[in-house]
Every structure is written in C-alpha cells, then in structure tokens.
Amino acid sequence: MASSSSSSSEGEGRRAWVPLASRPEFAGVTPLPQDDGPSPVVAIAYRDDFRETMDYFRSLYSSRELSPRSLLLTSLAISVNPANYTVWHFRRQVLEALGADLTEELEFTEGVAKRNAKNYQLWHHRRWVAEKLGPDAASRELEFTRKIFCLDAKNYHAWSHRQWVLQALGGWEDELDYCAQLLKEDVFNHSAWNQRYFVITKSPSLGGLNAMRDSEVDYAIEAIHANPENESPWRYLRGLYNDENEAWLNDSRVHSACLHVLKAKRNFKFALSTLLDLLGLGFKPNQEIKDAITSLRTSDSGEAGSDSDLANSVCSILGREDPMRANYWTWRSSKLPQAAEV
C-alpha cells in the first residue's frame, strides 16, 4: 500500500472512509491532534476523514518518519487538502529519502491536477520533480501542459510552467507550431499570443525578434482581418516593433491593415487607436485614410483639415464608440502634438 498513485488517494474520498486507526500499515502511530490554542479564531468544524488524516500526518511529520507509509499519508493528506504546502514539502523529503521513482511521481501530480489545475503547490511540486528528472523530462512536461490546455487553454500556472520547461529543459522545436495550433482553435487566446511572442524572442532555433518580425507582421495582420475586434493581434503587432518607432511608422502593411478595417465600418476601435498612435509619432496619412476616418464621423463639421484635426476626429469617434473609456480617449486627444501652422 506504499503506492503513490493518484487512483488510491482519489478513491479514498469516494468510497466509505476506513479510519486510519484500523489500518494495519499505520499501526503504532499515535495521532497528534491540532493545537488551536485556548480561543481559536475562525475555528473550523472538520470532517472526520480530514481530521484523522491530518492528526496522523502531524504525527509522522513531527517524528520525521520518511517511510513508504509517510508517502501514502501525504497522498491522503493532499487529497483532502491539496493546498497544504507543509504536506507537499514533507512529501518531497520522503521521496528523496526513499530514492523514489520520480516518473511515478509525475503520474501522481497528473492525478491531482485533474481536480486542482490552479493549485500553486501542485505546480511547484511538478517543477521540482521535472527539475530532478532533467532535460529528458522536457517532452513529457510539454505534453502534460498540453493536456491541461485542452481543458483550459489560458491556465496561468500551466503557461508559467511551460515557459520554465522550455528555458530550463528545452524542447523549443515545435513551440511556434503549437502556438499556431492553439490560435487556430481560439484566435482570442491572449496566453497563446503571449507565448508566441515568448517563442519568437527567446527560442534559440529561430533567430530572434528581428529575424522573425517580417513573417510575424503578416501573421498578426491576417488575424486582425479575420477579427478586427480582437485585442491580442493588435498588441502583438505593436510589440513586434517595440521601441522601433521609425520602422513601425514606415511599415505600410500596418496602416493598410487599419484602412482595411475602417472601410468595413465595423469593429474599428483598435484600428483607430493604432492610427492614433501612428499620428502621434508623425505619420502622414494619405487621402484614402483621411476619407475613411471622415466617413466614420457622425457630426457634420466638414472635411478633416490638418492632421491634428484628423487626430481629434479619431479621438471623438473613439469616445463615441467606446463610451466606457471616454475619459481615456479625451486624454489621448489632449496629448496630440499640435500640427505646425502652414
């Protein structure tokens, strides 16, 4: 019964609880009750299985018993309270003392993850195991996070783990394709866009941001055309140029994409705010863009004249389209550079 597999610990919860006091493997253990002090605050009425499990845990923990039955007990304790970090820490000590097979431990954590995919202690434990197993564990870790993403493609812990795996253990080769796959399933997945940025900037096999920029601009714009209301590709596109304002201004694909969205007259908020960003950096729009903006105005105040009038038009359209952030768009118009008097 020294198995650390998840099925026994999960099964315990569902079948009738067999008191630890009547289990032969725990013979000789004196349970240690919890000391809440004389006047407990937020006192909790515990279930019998929880109380007994923790009483036994406390006993083996305080006597530092690093044995197979201690390992079993941590499985039980984790199943009744997976967030108790003392239990997880003790489990690591037991695993080390027993020289346990850590690939079995991976299975155990996968079982816990099924019902506790957002538990910090679980992920920390998994990282500890993977680190011990080394680079050979990389593909299994990527597969594990992939399974988690099938259930919740934005699980923040899983993404943090996956980034750590790539940097510490490797496995970059298929990561860009994986991002593309996730974005095909849900192009609004901001985590996947973030991961894509992570890959193109940090992957040792891709050549870095400068090398990847060109193809990634096309990729982002394709996503923009499919769903112009999608915040992520717009931010991604801007991020591709980061501090390189000259290059950002001069990439005609960017303002062409904005124009394309404006002409459709739907979901143009991010197109307009991108144009606003460009105008603020000195962009000189052509007549087509000016006309597209003008046609979105509802108030009839004549042709858009100078560029600062144009930018102000953009701000007031945005204030109208996005009233929740009216103060923000008003502020943007106050920050516009004044057009030179000609």
Partner 1 sequence: MGELAGDKHVKYILSVEKKKDSFESVVMEHLRLNGAYWGLTTLDLLGKLDTVDSNEVVSWILQCQHESDIRALQNEDGSFSGDIWGEVDTRFSYCAICCLAILKRLDSINVEKAVRYIVSCKTLDGGFGCTPGAESHAGQIFCCVGALAITGSLHHIDKDLLGWWLCERQVKSGGLNGRPEKLADVCYSWWVLSSLIMIDRVHWIDKEKLIKFILDCQDTENGGISDRPDDAVDIFHTYFGVAGLSLLEYPGLKATDPAYALPVDVVNRIFFGRCST
State the minimum distance, in angstroms, from the CB of residue 2 to partner 1: 24
Residue matched to tokens 């768009």: 329
Residues 263-282 that bind partner 1 (CB under 8 A): none
Residue matched to tokens 């006091």: 21
Residues 128-157 that bind partner 1 (CB under 8 A): 128, 154, 156
The answer to whether residue 290 is catalytic is no
* Residue 50, CB-side half-sphere exposure with 13 Å CA sphere: 9
The verdict on 208 binding partner 1 (CB under 8 A) reads no
The verdict on 327 binding partner 1 (CB under 8 A) reads yes
Whether the CA torsion 298, 301, 303, 305 is positive or negative: it is negative
User: Which CB sits closer to partner 1, 90 or 283?
Assistant: 90
The verdict on 85 binding partner 1 (CB under 8 A) reads yes
Report the phi/psi class of residue 151: left, alpha or beta, with left for phi > 0 and alpha for psi in -120 to 50. Answer: alpha
Q: Answer whether 105's CB lies under 8 Å from 4's CB.
A: yes
What the block records as the tokens of 292 is: 């597209």
State the minimum distance, in angstroms, from the CB of residue 197 to partner 1: 6
The verdict on 232 binding partner 1 (CB under 8 A) reads yes
Q: Which of 118, 132, 147, 265 is catalytic?
A: 118
Applying CB under 8 A, among 189, 274, 313, 316 the residue interacting with partner 1 is: 189
Applying CB under 8 A, among 239, 245, 247, 312 the residue interacting with partner 1 is: 239
> Using DSSP, how many helices (H) and how many strands (E) does the chain show?
18, 0
State the minimum distance, in angstroms, from the CB of residue 40 to partner 1: 7
User: Which CB sits closer to partner 1, 304 or 318?
Assistant: 318
Applying CB under 8 A, among 324, 340, 341, 342 the residue interacting with partner 1 is: 324
Q: Answer whether 284's CB lies under 8 Å from 253's CB.
A: no
What the block records as the tokens of 216 is: 């990634």
Q: Answer whether 245's CB lies under 8 Å from 281's CB.
A: yes
Nearest CA-CA partner of 336 in 268, 293, 282, 285: 282
Residues near partner 1 (CB under 8 A) are: 37, 39-47, 50, 80-81, 83-85, 89, 92, 120, 124, 127-128, 154, 156, 159-160, 163-164, 167, 188-191, 194-195, 197-198, 201-202, 231-232, 235-236, 238-239, 242, 323-328, 331, 335
State the catalytic residues: 118
